[in-house]
Chains A and B, each alone.
Chain A
Amino acid sequence: MTKLLEAFADGLGRGSVYALIALGFVIIYKSSRVISFAQPGFMIAGVVLVTYLVQVSWLGFFGAMLLGAVLIGLLALGIERAVIRPMIGRPIFAIAIITIGLDIVLRTVAHAYIGPLVRHVGDPWGTSQLHLGSVRMDQRHLAAVVTATVLVLLLFGFFRYTRMGLAMRAVAEDQEAALAQGVSVGAVFALSWALAGGLAAVAGSFAAAGVSVDNTFWPVALYALPVIILGGLDSLPGAVLAGLVIGVLRSLADAYVDDLSWLGENPSLIVPWLVMMLVLVVRPYGLFGTREVERV
């Protein structure tokens, strides 16, 4: 039982990271119907930036993370303005391919700043654990859960109560009608990229807490793909819930590795992808996604 609960707690920490990255995918998808494959690039750029920022002692981990998120958000905004905006109205496929190119560029540049050694985000919690009865939970996981919760609440409040949030929801539903009301669709696109970039940087910082950052770190962001498929491409609550589900499933697979030996030696690596395949077969629009009716 303890093992199960510990795996669960561990999974929530992991899942929060996935949820934050997935939210970035969903926000961009909702505003422009493009799946931006540049998210891993923004994440690794954010992580590397944070590893440098934590060296400024008075910032601390959270200060470095927030500053890093803002800077990566601005970078994403600039990239959207320069590279993506001129492509609006072109086929979605072409834009998606451009984001793959962007991802490679971002990753290459970020990896160049990692240098020959591994880097660390300061490791504020190390391996210290929290004891809740007999259940132990890593403090870094708890911090990830708390931060993700706060960010998600802020985000939902933003979409629900602010003028710009309302504009973003309107553009997600009917771009032309939103334009006709005087909404600046360009500003909505820019903001969605900035939010996605910032979220990726925060997620990366937590994924890197307690581990070292090298040029094999970025695939963490790829787990957002099963998450958005499971949750539904255009659902924010879906991204959060599916993020936690995928995180927990991975941790369970780690905890019960012996029972899953038929899946190979490291089942937690493939469990998310198995879930994704299953979802695509059974319910391709995900748990909360809009069912698309398309005439062929």
Chain B
Amino acid sequence: MLQVHNIEVVYDDIMLVLRGVSLSVPPGRIVALLGANGAGKSTLLRALTGLLDVHHGKITRGRVTLDGESVGQLRPAALVRRGISQVMEGRRIFGELTVEENLRLGGYTNPKQFRRRCELVFGLFPVLAQRRRETAGYLSGGEQQMLAMGRALMAEPRYLLLDEPSLGLAPRLVEEVRELIVSINRTGTGVLLVEQNATMALSIASHGYVLETGQVVLDKPAADLLADDDIREFYLGLHPAGAGGGPERRSYREVKHYRRRKRWLS
């Protein structure tokens, strides 16, 4: 179980970005983390993978634990070795290197397993096998996302953290990414899925958290979240089931601003 307990994260000693967030990712489950831009989702992932240092961030309170052991102060390499891998927002593949070299870096902490893991990744992403000698920068956006996910899987993580894998992808590809996440999860990998695309995330997650200005405001099983009026209105753009029964789409313009105030904040 990968957990954060009440953590506070401060950037540059002044910017309080996470204010007492608690969250847990049980092994082998998919957990969705929703929230608007700037809510602190990426910061939470950085706290889980030891990348806060690079951004002058610090965990000032609370703990990050992996199976009960405190791992908040570990370096990124140590966390990768313990089975936590992250696919960063915007893919961040090494564009000047080849596909295979990118995968090699994904398996950097355990080069002996390279061949076997490569086969696993090529099984999931056949397109990477076709292009293994090509320069990664020339892949299409969808292929780059596959490469970023494949690279993270090269470390054979127990927990895979995905930061907006649907970012900038066509709806078809989003669908494909969704299926891939499900099949990755089926091999026993726990997934923490950070998404703007709430429909996609909640359709495969077992549990969901909603983060807003550094705090968890909702924490429910995914099915309950999908049915939650606020989530339907603010994340899915659906009007609460009206007299007609089924959900209908409604323009935000028609909604009075005071009615748009989210219920959990009032």
Given contacts A169-B97, A182-B77, A182-B155, contact A177 B108 (CB under 8 A): no
If A173-B96, A173-B97 touch, whether A182 touches B104 (CB-CB below 8 Å) is no
Interface residues of A: mostly helix, strand, loop or mixed? helix
Query: With a CB–CB cut-off of 8 A, which chain A residues contact B108?
Result: 163, 167, 181-183
Can you list, as one digit per residue, whether each of B93-105 has a CB less than 8 Å from chain A (1) or not (0)? Answer: 1111100010011
Q: Does B26 contact A (CB under 8 A)?
A: no
A129 shortest CB reach to chain B, Å: 43
Task: Provide the residues of chain B in CB contact with A89, threshold 8 Å.
Answer: 53-54, 56
Q: Which residues of A contact B88 (CB under 8 A)?
A: 176-177, 180
Contact B95 A182 (CB under 8 A): no
**Minimal beta-carbon separation of B97 from chain A (angstroms):** 6
Total contacting residues, chain A, CB less than 8 A:
18
Q: A179-B50, A181-B80 are in contact. List 11 more A-B contacts (CB 8 A).
A: A89-B54, A89-B56, A166-B101, A166-B104, A169-B96, A176-B88, A179-B51, A180-B86, A181-B151, A182-B81, A182-B155
B residues contacting the other copy or chain, number (CB 8 A): 29
Residues of A with C-beta under 8 A to B77: 179, 182-184
Query: What chain B residues lie within 8 Å of A183 (beta carbons)?
Result: 77, 105, 108
Chain A residues near B81: list those with CB within 8 A: 182
Q: Does A178 lie at the interface of the complex (its beta carbon under 8 Å from any beta carbon of B)?
A: yes
The B91-123 residues at the A interface (CB cut-off 8 A) are 92-97, 101, 104-106, 108-109, 111
Contact status A176-B96, CB under 8 Å: no
- Which residues of chain B are near A170, meaning CB under 8 Å? 94, 97, 105
In the assembled complex, B49 has its CB within 8 A of some CB on chain A: yes
What is the 8 Å Cβ interface bit string for chain B, positions 124-167, against chain A (1 contact, 0 not)? Answer: 00000000000000000000000000010001000000000000
CA distance in complex: A183, B81 (Å): 11
A177 to B96, CA, bound (A): 13
Report the bound CA distance from A209 to B105 in whole Å.
Answer: 42
> Which residues in A have some Cβ–Cβ distance to B below 8 Å?
89, 163, 166-167, 169-170, 173-184
B28 interface residue per 8 A CB criterion? no
Q: Which of A163, A166, A180 contacts B76 (CB 8 A)?
A: A180
Query: Could you give 29 example pairs across A and B, Cβ below 8 Å?
Result: A89-B53, A89-B56, A166-B104, A166-B105, A167-B105, A169-B96, A169-B97, A169-B101, A170-B94, A170-B97, A173-B94, A176-B54, A177-B93, A178-B94, A179-B51, A179-B77, A180-B51, A180-B76, A180-B85, A180-B92, A181-B109, A181-B151, A181-B155, A182-B76, A182-B80, A182-B108, A182-B109, A183-B105, A184-B75
In whole angstroms, how far apart are the Cα atoms of A28 and B125 in the complex?
Answer: 36
Q: Are B96 and A175 in contact (CB under 8 A)?
A: no
A179–B105 Cα distance when bound, in Å, is 10
A176 touches B51 (CB 8 A): yes
Question: Quick check: A177 and B92 within 8 Å, CB to CB?
Answer: yes
Enumerate chain A residues within 8 angstroms of B94, measured Cβ to Cβ: 169-170, 173-174, 177-178
Closest to A173 in B: B94
The distance in angstroms between the C-alpha atoms of A180 and B50, with both chains bound, is 8
Q: What does the 1/0 interface line of B41-60 toward A look like (CB < 8 Å)?
A: 00000000111011010000
The CA of A180 and the CA of B93, in the complex, are separated in Å by 11
With both chains docked as a complex, state the minimum distance between the C-beta of B158 and any C-beta of chain A, in angstroms: 14
* A167 (CB) vs chain B CBs: closest residue: B108
- Complex CA distance for A169 and B108, rounded to whole angstroms: 13
Cα-based distance from A176 to B54 in the complex (angstroms): 7
Tell me the residues in window 222-257 of chain B with beta carbons closer than 8 Å to chain A beta carbons: none
Residues of B within 8 A of A181 (CB): 80, 105-106, 108-109, 151, 155
